[in-house]
Amino acid sequence: MAAIQFVTGRSNTEKFDAVEKALRSFSRRLFKTTVLMTPPVPLFSDGIDPDGTLFRRLIPFKGRIDRVAIFVGKYITRPVVIDLQLMDAVGGSTITFPLVGMITVKEVNMPISQPCILQAKALPADSIQEVMFAALTFPESDRIAKEHYVIDALLQNFESNELIETTPSEEALSE
C-alpha cells in the first residue's frame, strides 16, 4: 500500500508551493463545522388492551423520551391515571400522571438505556376507550459515527482538490 504524500513537486520551490496550497486548504476548513443530527423518533399506538395497556414497545437505542401525548375519546370512569414504565435489564423507572381532558401532554424527560421496554397503562384498566398514545424519543448520536463521518468528508474534499498523491513519482523518490 502506497503512503499518502502531501508534498509533491520536483524542485524545492514546487514542494513549498504544494505545502502552502495544502495549508491554505486546511485554514479554509478550520472554521467550518460539520454537524450530524439525528431527528426525533415518534412512537404511536391506538387502542387499549383489556388489562389497560395503551402502549408497549421495545426501544433498541440509547437516548431519551421527551414527552408523551394521550388522546381519550371516551371516559368510562374518572379519575384516570397513566402509569408510564421504562424497564431495562437492571431495573427501570416509573412516572405516574393523571389524564386531564381529551388530550394530555406530559413532559417526561426519561433517559433510555439500551435496550429497554416502554409501557403505558391506564389505571383503572377499564376506565377509558378510543385511546391514542404517542411518545417523542430522541436517539443519542454515536460519537464514533460522527468522527468517521467527518474524517471521510475531509478525505473526500482533499482527494477532490488533488492535494493527496497516493503513489510517489519516480522523480520524487530520486530527490
Q: Are residues 46 and 131 in the same domain?
A: yes
Whose cell is 400522571? That residue is 97
β-strand partners of 63: 112, 139
Please state, rounded to an integer, the average pLDDT across all residues of the chain. Answer: 80
Q: Are residues 133 and 166 in the same domain?
A: no
Tell me which residue range forms the domain holding 25: 12-35+143-174
Grid coordinates of 135: 411518545
Within a domain: 1: no
Within a domain: 28: yes
Within a domain: 62: yes
Within a domain: 103: yes
Q: Are residues 131 and 147 in the same domain?
A: no
pLDDT band at residue 30 under the 50/70/90 scheme: low
Greater confidence, 69 or 5?
Answer: 69
CATH number for 79? 2.60.120.40
Q: Distances from the Cα of 3 to the Cαs of 7, 19, 168, in angstroms?
A: 12, 17, 8
pLDDT band at residue 115 under the 50/70/90 scheme: confident
Q: Are residues 169 and 111 in the same domain?
A: no
As a dihedral over the C-alpha atoms of residue 92, residue 95, residue 96, residue 100, rounded to 10 degrees, the angle is -140
Q: Are residues 78 and 18 in the same domain?
A: no
Q: Which residues contact 58 (CB under 8 A, 6 or more apart)?
A: 115, 116, 117
Total count of domains within the chain: 2
Contact 21, 8 (CB under 8 A): no
- pLDDT, tens digit (0-9, with 9 covering 90-100), for 74-96: 999 999 999 999 998 888 899 99
Predicted pLDDT at 75: 93
Within a domain: 67: yes
Q: Are residues 83 and 165 in the same domain?
A: no
Which one, of 16, 105, 2, 117, lies nearest residue 58 by Cα? 117
Within a domain: 7: no
What is the pTM assigned to this prediction?
0.62
Q: Are residues 66 and 119 in the same domain?
A: yes
Q: What is the mean pLDDT of residues 108-121?
A: 91
- pLDDT, tens digit (0-9, with 9 covering 90-100), for 122-175: 999 999 999 999 999 998 876 555 656 666 666 666 655 544 444 444 554 444
Q: Are residues 23 and 104 in the same domain?
A: no
Q: Are residues 56 and 130 in the same domain?
A: yes
Q: Are residues 27 and 88 in the same domain?
A: no
Using CA atoms, how far apart are residues 34 and 115, in angstroms rounded to an integer?
A: 29
